Each structure stands twice: as C-alpha cells, then as structure tokens.
Structure 1
Amino acid sequence: MDVYQEAMEYLKSQHVPVEVEPDVLEEDVFQEEVVSCFFSPLHAESVDFPETPTTCSQEEMLERRHKVLIGILESEEVYLRELDALLMPMKALRATAGTSQPVLSSRQVQTVFYQVPEIRDMHQSFYAGLKVQLSAHSQTELSPVLQPQQGSDPESETRSFGEETEMKHKGFELMVGDLFLKMVNQISFYGGFIQNYEEAVDIVKKCTQSDPRFRTLAESMMSNNSSDKTRTKYTFEALLYKPLDRVTKTTLVLQDLLKATPEDHRDYTVLQEVLRLSRSFLSGVNESSQCKREVMLSHGMRRKLMRDGFVINEGDRSLRHLFLYTDLLLCTRVKPTTRGKQDQYRFCWYLPLAGLKLHWVADQDQTPDTHLRLHTIRTKMYLLRQQLRQHTKGSKNSTLPTRNKKKLEQLELMLLTHSIDYRLELHSPSAKSQSLLFSSLYELEEWREAIHKLTTDNIETVPPDLLTLTSACVKLRMTQHPPLHTTFTGKDENSLCGTLSVAIHSACGLQQPACVYVCLEVDGYKFYDQQSKTHSSVRTLDPHWDQELSFQVDEAQNLRLLCVGQSDGRDGRETVLGRSSVKLESKTLNKRWRRQTLIMGQVEVTISLKYTPHVLDAPSSTAQQQLIFGVPHEIVAQQEGVLVPHVVRCCAEEVERRGLDEVGIYRISGGATDIIALKAVFNSNLREAVTRLRCADVNTVSGVLKLYFRELPEPLIPAELFQSLAKMLEIEDLDLRLVSMLALLESCPDANRYTFVYLLHHLQRVSEKQDKNKMTLLNLATVFGPSLVRPPVAGLGQDGPTIDISQEVVIQVQVVFSYLQCNNLPDARISPPHDTDAEDETTHL
C-alpha cells in the first residue's frame, strides 16, 4: 500500500474525514504574522473571566473563584482536544518514516512533535485532578449551610457566629494549589517546545510546499467540539501554535485565580509561588527569544533586534525610540498618525557597531533658568497628584482623574526631556558621532553594556536597507511606551511614601586601588530629586564612606545603586564597576536601620536602609545650604549623620595618601587663596569639594583641615575641661596622667570625642614618618594644640584662677602632646551604628 494511503487510512480509522486539497479552511488561526509576532515579549489575552469587584464579601469572592476554576477546566478540555488533533497523525508519520517513500524522516517527525506528547500528558493529569476537585466541591455545595433557601425571611440574613464559621469553612474546602504547582513544575516541557518551534514550523512549511501527500494531511486536521459534536478544521501550523498561545496565557490565568482567592485561603501562598514560577519561566523565555528577533533585508542579510527603548537625542533634545540590532544602532521617531491607524517610524540616524567607541560623562550643572523650569514642572505635578489622591477618597467627578492623569503624564514627559544628568557619546570610525542623553545612570549603563557586548569583534556589514529596517520597527519593538511612572498606575500597597534614608558604609572586592563613589537612584513620582551620590573615596582597595543620604519619595518601589570608579588622569573618565537594585517594600522597612550587602559583580557594597512614612510637603525651589565651616561641630556631625565629619576624614585620608613624606606637612601652609576656595566649595557641595581635594596641593589640603578646627565656635575639647586638663598635667607619672586624661575625655559629646580620637590616630601615623616629613609628635601638638584645646572666654564667670596667655599656649600644646603619646587610644567610631535591629543580619543580594 502507498505510504500516503497508509496515513489516510490511519486518519479514517480515527473517524476523521479527509478532504483532498480543500479550497477553504473553516478556521486557520495561524496567520502569516505569527512567527514574527511571537518573538516579541510573550503576551497573552486573559481568559474572559469577570473582573474582581473593588469591594466584595468573602462569599462573593469564593463564588467568583469557583467560576474562574470552571473556566480553566473548560479551557483545558478544549486545549486537550487540540493537542489530540495535533498528535493524531504522529503514529502514521512515524510508521512510514522507515519505508522507501517516507512522508517525513524519523528526525523530522521527532522535531515536529518534540515535547508535544509530554505537554499533553502534563495537561491531561492536571485536567483530571481539577475535574475531581470541582466535582467534589459541587457535591459539598448542596449542603443546606451553603445553599440558603429561597424566600427566607430577612432575619435569616443575620447568621450566628457559628454559622458564619461553618460557611467560611465549607467555602474554603476547595484546594487546587497543589495541582497548579505540580503543573508549573513541569513547565520546562514548554521551554523545549519553544526552542524547537521555529525549526518545526519550517519543516511543516517546506513539506507542505514540496509534498502533496503531506499538504493534504497538513491542511485537513480536525478537532472535535464536545458541546455540539461538530468538528473544527485547523492547519498543521495552526495546531503547532496552540502550545505557544497556551503558555503565554498561563500567567494571566493565574493572576485571575489569585485575585479571586482570599488571602487567608490555604491556596493563596501556594498560588503566589506558582505565579512567581510562571513569571520567572516566561521572563527567561523572553530573554532567550529576544535574540531570535530578526529582519530579513533585501540583500538577504540576517539581522536581529537585541534591545530597544526611549532615549533623549542630544541634537534636538527630543524623545526618540532607539533600536539596537546585532550590527547597528537605529534611531527613529514616531510619525504622528490619525486615531485608529497603526504607528509608523521615521528614520533619524544609524551607526554601525563595528569599531564604535563609547564614552559617558556627567552633564554640566543646570543653569538657574533650567532649575526654575524644572521646579515649576515638579510643583505642578505635585498639585495634580494631590488632587488625584483627594479624588480617590470619595469625589464623584469622573472626568477629573482622567484629565489630571493626562496632564501628569505630559508634565512627567517634559521633566524627562529636560532633567538630563548624563550623556552617552557614540564615536564611529567613519567620523560620525551621536550623543544620547539620560536622567538615569543606571539606564545609561544598561544601554552601554548592551552596545559594548555587540561591538566586541564586530565585523563591518553591508549598509542596511533603511526603509525596510525602519518600517519593521513597528512590529519588532519590545518597548511600547516611554518610562513614565504615571503610565504604570496601580497603587502598590508596599510602595514607599515619606523619607527613605540610605547609609552607604563601605565596599570590598576591587581588583586594583581606585577612587570610588556610589550613585543611588529611586523611582516613583518625580516631585523631588531622585538621585544622589556619595563623595569619592581615597584611592584604595577598600573604600569607606559611612555617608547617609535621604530621599523624599512617593510610591517608590525600587532603589538602584551603581559603584563608580574614577580614573587618575586629568580626563576625569569614570567607569561603572558594578550595579544592583533593591526592591523597596514598606512592610520590610521601618524607622530602624536595616543592614545588607549588595553584590555588584566583583564588588560588594554594604548599606543600611531606614524608612519613615509621612505626608509629603510641596517640593522646595532650592535645597537648604548646610554650612560646614564656622558651625558648631556637633551640628555638622548631626546634619551629615556621622560622628566624624567628612571634611575631617577626607582631608586626613588625602594627607595620608600622598602627604606623609612631605617635609613640614601641617607646618608649611598652602596657598591662602586655594584654601579659601576649597572652604567655599565644602560649604556648598561636598562631592565637588572632595573631588577637588584629589588634585589640590597637599599643603592646601592640610591647611583646610587646620582651618576647620580653627574656625569652630567651640573647640573639640570643651572649654570647661581646660582647668581640669591643666591640673592633670601636673601628675608626674605619665601612665597615671594618661589614664586620667582619657577618663576625662569620656565626658565630651560623642561627635567631639570620636573626632578628636580620629585626629590623634591620624597624627600618630603622620609622626611615624618623621624621618622623612620632620614632624614629631611635639611638632604636631604645637600646630594643633591652640585649635583643639582652648581656655574659657574671660569674663563669663568661670571658676578657677586665670592663666596668662603664654601659659595657655603651653597647656594647649602639652595636653595634645600627652594624648598623642598614648599607645592605647580607643578606636575612633566614624558613624553611629545603622544596624540596630537585632533580627536584621547582613544579607547578600
């Protein structure tokens, strides 16, 4: 018997009527665009279940849950019939593969039906289990407790507490979480099917075109409809697409079920985990499928889309849609169209990736006009947001929120295009260059990293067919909308509204010494500054900052951090050494510090988080300037959230880095003009001041440190201790004298005491190099004594005899000299502890 006839006979034995060369298919779900559309991020249309009511009782919620499960069961039944129709010819095709005239080879049969039997068995098991559970539940519902009698009197509506408990218990009996968990744990079968899908479709297409026997088979596949016993006709390709369509719907079906499941139901936690696993699987499939996006140009070159998104083009400061292909960058703009018509893109520019050089820089400071404009936009956004909040509390005007949301979106878009902090420069060997602007360093680094991976060993390609390439962007795009917080509405109860404080402690894991800082970014509504940076550390393998930064946030859900290294050269180039993100949830953060360690590639950064919820004030037009010089020491430490102010630490670290061998360090003064200039920068911008320290003359750095202590309104050692210290100098036994002086130091305020001890340790390290710098402990005491220890101001009623001026200087020097001679100084704590919660141990993310 002919091989084709054998296949036909098999189909007839299964009671499937076969038509020869059918002209019209009753249903062909597989359209021409399916292959290209599939490789956009997996999407799905949710099963048509009723929406969750905004407010409903548990009984109503459980009833809706039951309807959702019935819908899932019916959907599974249809899907199983489709899989059966797909598998129906497999046996015949496999049997004919070993003959002299095979329809498909053994390998082709295996490829076409790869993982389909396993998927069918998985869903058959799930369907059977779900059907049993629903049947058992339907019988339970016949209980009088669960089925109120018709025509009951009004008093029956008021149930006793015991009856309500019975009702709740009965309604909570339906348990299906384990069935879903078992199915999602086998979802990897779909992974194999998806990876093989393109090749399977290719085989079916080629065989359909070349072999009339297979074409008749492939275009005459039938599926039974159990409801009316009719049959639906599919093409082979349409049935092959069914598993793809099914797996993309999994997450949305689970979302519907979870929304209809009360939180105190025993299935709730299990379904949350099932949803997480399903999302994780689809996310992984999206990542692997993105590399399969392709555009076939007129000259036959294979080109794939790797990434796309919205950026600001420097030329006209307009929003542009950027597409990154395997061999080029394409910048486009959306062509305005009338309502109802498909979007179109217009070409702006393109750059080949071969030889492309990347360099990013921080943008210049904003002009006063720009700052004022941004503040105006933020104020308007804040007011609109307040109106929306008030509306949700009971206003009946339905047009107001829609109009305000639209305005809010427009203002946020304006803010996005004007608040530019970074520029990514693209330099092509062909002398063509472009610059992209970003308000987020994290987003810039994502683009830079993606482009850099493709520029490595990239070969020059044939110039693209720009018309075809630009036209294809509409279907290939992954990102549909600009990254606006207003667009992604849907209040998250765990989002933050109030003050988020972040203390950045230290980092480790650097491969070589570097000056490093940490950049932080938060999301949410952009009423306030959402980015901040620590000062730059000294050049070291183990940078320490112990710097506290605060953000005013509204609906913040994510904190993103980048560790950035600065080059030693004059070009000021900076390199992102690592990045990470932290999910912010109000239920896990509170008013006490929570410490954790973030792994950013090879770098580990230790931080602490604290969150204080409160109603936000309107954004301020200018940040309050916090002076450092001439301000009481405790106030400086308090406003910086530390025990040792940054000006002291940064100057001391810089002196230790390159001034220990400098002859006369701290004795020889730097230029007065340079010192005054650095003082002014410290009073206005700590980051800028620390950056300038790196290239300032080391004697200027030491002069700034001396000036800070000299201009303190009150000395580090309180004036009321002067007389006591003078008396202690009379103790002849040095050890006893030092013990007494250290004990007296305990009465100083914490910030004063720890800063003084920190300085003593630093000066001792300077003195260890006295053979080179010629600065002994006595020399250093002579320099710092008059600034650190001062007598009480005359005429304020102090007790004790007055001391003449010459004797005062001797006492000042001798006190500091005595402390410097102490070999067992206590450790200098830099900042207050930030991990005060006993249960909050360091976690690695």
Structure 2
Amino acid sequence: MTLASDIVFIPASELPASANHEAESRSPEQCRDSHPDIPMAVSPQIKRVILESPVVSSGEEEVSFDETDGVPEELSARDKLLQMRQYIVKGVLESEKSYLAILELLIHYKRSLEASSQTSKPVISEEDNNAIFFNIKKLYAIHQEFVKELEPKVNNWSHDQKIGEIFKMMVFQFPEFGKYMKNYQVAVTTIHRCSQENPQFQEIAGKVTFGSHAKEVTNLEDALFKPVQRVQRNALVLHDLIKYTPEDHEDHRLLRKALDLSQYNLEEISSTIRESGALPQEKRHLVKSSFLVELVSGQRKVRYIFLFSDVLVCTKKDNNRKASNFDVKWIIPLCRLTIDTHFDYQDDLKHSHKENIEAMKKKIGQLKSELRDEVKYEEARVSKHWSISGLAAARSVDKLKRKIHELEAQLILQLPKLAVKLTHEGGKVHTLLMTTDYEREEWLETLTSLCRKCGHDDPSLSTYEVQELVNTSKALPQVNKFGSVLMQKDEEVLNGTLNVTVHKLNGLVTPCDTYCCVEMDSYDHFFMKARTNICPTSADPAWDEDFELELDGSQTLRVLVYKKVDNKSDRLLGRGALELCKSWLKTNFQEKTISMNDVSLVISVRHTPANRTMRRTPSQQKTGVFGVKISTSARREGKTVPSIVTACIQEVEKRGLDETGIYRVSGVTSEVQRLKKAFDKNVRLGTCHVTDCDIHAVTGMLKLYFRELPEPLFTEANYTNFVESLRLSDKEAKEKCMLGLLHNLPDANYYTIVTLLEHLVRVAKNVKENKMTIHNLATVLGPTLLAPAVKDTTTNPLEMMSKTTEQVMLQSAIVNYFLSLAAQGRSLRRSAQV
C-alpha cells in the first residue's frame, strides 16, 4: 500500500510534452496507473500540482572548507586572505541554492494543500494551511533575490569584487524572518492538531522527501525549522567574511555594518521570541551509545552507555530477557557531572593480554564460519519443508550466536586501559575504561560540550522514565559497531594491505613539533599501526611518509595528530577517521582530507587485495637479494644465513628490543623501499644503511624480504606436513614430528628459521617494554614465513577467502609452537635432537 508520505515530486521538464494536459483530462484512476507513487487518498488537484512540481535537492548542505586547501604557498598573506574570502562566498552561494530548494519544496506543499482546501473534502482548512506555511513565500523571494545578485559576482570573481552591499540588503530583510520565527510555534502546534484530526495529513506531514532519488527524509516540522537555523547561520557567515576581508578592502566597512545590523536585529527577534515563548525547548535526544567497561570494586563489568543531550545512563544488557534487555544501573544528569582523567587506577586486567585477544578473535572467526554454514543449511531446509532437522538447525544457529556474544563480551573486557572518572555532584564516583586515546577524546569532547549547554536544571527523571527512555533508544546505531564485522559477508570484509601516505597538516597557527599516529581496527578492536617521524618546529608540517598496513577485517582508519610537549606527555591536536569500504578504495592512490576541528590532515590511501599481496614472483635481477631463492643468496655469500637477515636481527637487538610494537608497527614505505634497493644493489651497502634507518623500517624490510621469497621459508613441499603435525594430540609425537620436519629442511631454510626464532624469543623477553608477546610475534610473522604463493585459480572467491582465513590461523599457530618450545628452554637446533 502506498502512503501519502511517499509523494515524489517530478519536474515538468522530465514529463512528456502532453503530460500536463493529460493530467487534467485523466481520471484519478488513470493518474494512479501512470504514477503509482501518488496515493489515491490525495485529491486530483493535489496530484496535478505534484506532477508539475520540480525535483528538490536532498536538503541544505553544510559547506565545509579547509583554510589553506588549494592556496598556493607562494601567495602573500593578503592574497591568501582574499583567496579564502572567495572560497567562503562560493560556499555561501552553493548553500543558498540548496536552501532555496527546501523553501521551494515547502511552497509546493502549501499549494497542494491550498488546492485541496477548495474541494469538498479538504485535507486541512485554508486557515490552518496559512498558519503552517506563514511567510514562506516572502522568505523564498528574499533568498531568491540574494542568489540572483550574488551569482554573477561569483561567476566573475576578482579580489576587488564587492559583495558587502548584497549582504547588507539581506540583513535589512531580517524583520520578515522575525515574523516567521514568532509564528513558528503556532505552525508546529497546528501541524500536531491537524495530524490528530486527519490521518491523511498526518501521513503527508510525517514524511517529506527531498527529491525522487535522494536518501535524506525528514518530517514537515523539521523542514519548517530550517529558516530558523538559517537566520543564525547568516550572522556566522558575516563573521567569517570579515575575518578574511582585509581592512583596506572596500567591502570591509560594508560587511561590518551588515554584521552590526544583523546582531541588533537578532537581539530584537530573540527578545520578542523569549517573551512570547514562540520557539520550543530542545528535545532530549540520544547523542552517543556504546559498549564500555565499568570498574566496580576492582572488577571489570561490561556496560552499555547511553549519552543523551542532558543525562548519562549506564545499563547492563540482559540477553535472557526479551521485554527489556537493558537494565538501568545508574544515571547522572549532565548538569551535575564532573569529569577527571588525571588519576591512576588498579585492577587485575590493567595490562591487557594480547595473546588472549588474538585467540578469542580467531575463535570468533571460526564460529562465524560455522554460523554461516548453519544459516545456509537452515534456509535450504525452510525453502523445501519444515522438519525436526530444521528445528535442530535453528537451535544450532542460536547456540552459535550466543557463543559469539559471549566471546564479544570477553573481548570488550580485555582491552580497555584508559580511565575516565565520572563524579556525581552528590559524591558518587563511577570509573569507565576505554581502549584508545581516540575513543576517550571522542567521549570527553562530547560530554564536555553537552555539560556546557545543559545549564543547571536537573531533568528529574524517575527510574521508570529512564527505563522507558532507554527502551525507545536501544535500537539506534551504536558508536562502536561491535560484532558488525563478524557478521559481515566474506565479500564485504577487507583483507590484504592498505598503503597510507601521510602528507601534510593544515591549519596550525603557531610552529611546534608534531607527529601522527595511525590506528586501524581488527574485528572491532583498534591497534596502533604506524607512527610518523617528528616534524620539528613548523606551522606547516609535512611528512610525505608511506606505510603499508595489513588489513584484517578492518573497517576504520584513524589518525591522531600530536604536539610534542616533553618526555612525559604529548598534547593531542586533532583526530579524525576514514570509514574503509570497497566502494571507494581502489588499487591506485585516493587522496583524502581528514578534518580535525581547527586542523586538517591530507593523506593518500591505496588498497591491495589479499590475492595480490603474496604472489612470490621470482626476481628478474639475478644479482639481487629480493625475490631470489634463499639457498642461492646463502651460497653466493658463503654463509648459512643470508647477510640481510643477520644484519636486520643484529640491528633490532642493538636498538629495537624496547621499541613498542616492534615487528608489528609498520615502517615508512619509502624508507623500506630505499633499504630494499640498497640490498639489491650491494649487500654491503645495504648492511651499512640499516644502521641509519628507523628501526620499524628495518623490520618492515626484513618482513618484505621473507614475503618476496620465491617460495616460503618453511617451503611449500612441507607446508601440509607441518599443518598435519600441528594437529597431533599426543604432545611427544607432535614435538618429534615438528622438530623432525624443521631439521629436514634445506640448510639455508633451516639455519635462517632457527636464527630468526631464537631472535624472536629474545624480543619477547622484553615484553614489558615492547608489548610484543610470543603470540603477537607469531601472528605478525606466521603468514610471511609460511604462506604459499597465491596462484591464479577458478575457485570461488568466497571459498578462497574463507580458506585463507583458516590458513592464516594455522600459519601463525606453527610459528607460535616453535617459539613456545624455544621459550620453554627447548633447543630447536639439530644437534639437540634426541
């Protein structure tokens, strides 16, 4: 059934030449057959207006710009101001056109309802129609004239162009806006009354669609609030224009007068409205919601936090209840909230165990695969007939989902280590734990902003009212989309590598030392993946540093910019994020600007799918090192282990054992490539360069060397044998088989593996400083050392990706087994074999 709220406006220009005539001559039934989106509940007169109405844009667009984007560095300070002035004026024009489209939409609704009021069955009366759309036509005429005067100025722009008079004439019309704003509450009250009296109008007012293809949808009440917002925006635009108009420019004086006049008019309007109560109070609304961890008497508890515009609500999710599965634990009115982050706390999981996190993440991946198979089985059963086995399949699906939810809860408990203390005015204290600086800053910024706005009025909500508030809000999207990756289809999950180039930072006012950190999620948990070098004492810092990051079910790339303060702490200047998806990621670099309040960061991003990252193509450079068989390199040098491996290991043990995230954090790609070229040209030259490079570039180059070997270090011939031996349940038999396979590898492979594994054990002994456990190291290096070359195949891509995920887990497990043996004191050398 088509509702009145599904009205679609079709431009006359898109109709056949005879369309208007046919619309008048056809019966209502014929009109419905040609245009099924127009409901029969609407009278023929309204239909006719609808058919002749233009398509309206998707709504008023916020125009954003960066203060230095596109401004050549060689311009003078005055020219830069004028360049920014041009961008602002152009943005104002584009925004005005979008706003005009909204007003035009409202006018067409008014005309449609006017036509209805002349019939025997009006939707609403003419009086109510005039009350709802009061002064809309005058506002439209004002803005239409403004655009008409401004557009030729923008199209023929020069730095001497004068637009102050146009803005001043707009400000002179503010009394008309005042009349509209005074009537706004009358309009809203009339909408509510008419909606109760007439279901047909309720359908029309409940859903206003901006354009036939636009996604943005709002109700009539929201659309009528746009002019109220516009009045305030006009004053803000004048502030910006004055800021970027030099004082010696002829427009400066006119813009100042326009601003003074606008402020006077706004004060007059606000005073009158406050006295009459014409504008409504802001409604309570949900701002953020998320799973967080609360520290209760030293114990971690999973909580679901709802942040409303005036109150913070902490709940416990109860999966065993259907009626209300969020039980309220405590509430704090924002007007009585104090926030503190400068304190220490104690609990058993303050230092998260990443090996547990990786194990749980892999287990969830396996359960997801099982769940997908069960769902397919159940759907196949239902499509044929219902049976006892179908019921069993449904129960199996529910059981797997419960297991996934249980593991999700454990994951949430493990990671957080950054505390936020929330104190109620009465003295009650609650401590929430968060995972990353990004997440904590996001919550602090939002809480602080809302606390400033909420004033001193206590919302005085009863427990019942709070529970009802939560129940009506729980279906809204949450901040951390936990479990969303786990339930995605395999073709939607991102794998492979992401090349990120951090270019430059715009918007700094004073010179300082700055650097950037790059975070990326892995199945909804974020990890620091890369860090740029410090750009010293600059107001225009530029890094142009490249990083190659491994994707593992990743959805979001986060970047944080820090100002170096001292050795103890650094100040966060800004943070921003990019949502990663296959719709915009390409195999060539895409440049993106990430806005961070007062500053913005320019980066470039490129995606390489998993089936292209492990080709292991042999080198065409016979005298090189990369892409050359390891036995060839060792024999050429007369050594058991190639020099490139020993040089990197020695350098890491010399200055990298205390480096946080060693082997996990990516080095700058350009520096890795320079090292690679040096070794390919001359091994001795490469060995000398290693001592001067960033340690993460050294480990990145070593991983690249193993990844580009023509065959994996553990050899393809023995890969299946290693996997089968790992699955043995008898510990003694497993150890004997695994060591036997290792010792029977070709000499160059065997000596290199043992040397590397012994080195990694030494790295893991410094886990307190570098945060790299044996499990972490195995996870990072397993696929690099064991993954066979990807071959062109006709296998279904989804099946191949599913198999790849399982193989990655096995490869990491093999390396983890040998590292665990070595860490326990068991020698991996042939001479120690019993």
* TM-score bracket, shorter-length normalisation: 0.3 to 0.5
TM-score normalised by structure 1 residue count: 0.42
Which entry has the higher C-alpha Rg, 1 or 2? 1
Between 1 and 2, higher relative CO (CA 8 Å, sep ≥ 6) is seen in: 1
TM-score with structure 2 setting the length: 0.42
Instruction: Please identify which structure carries the higher helix content.
Output: 2
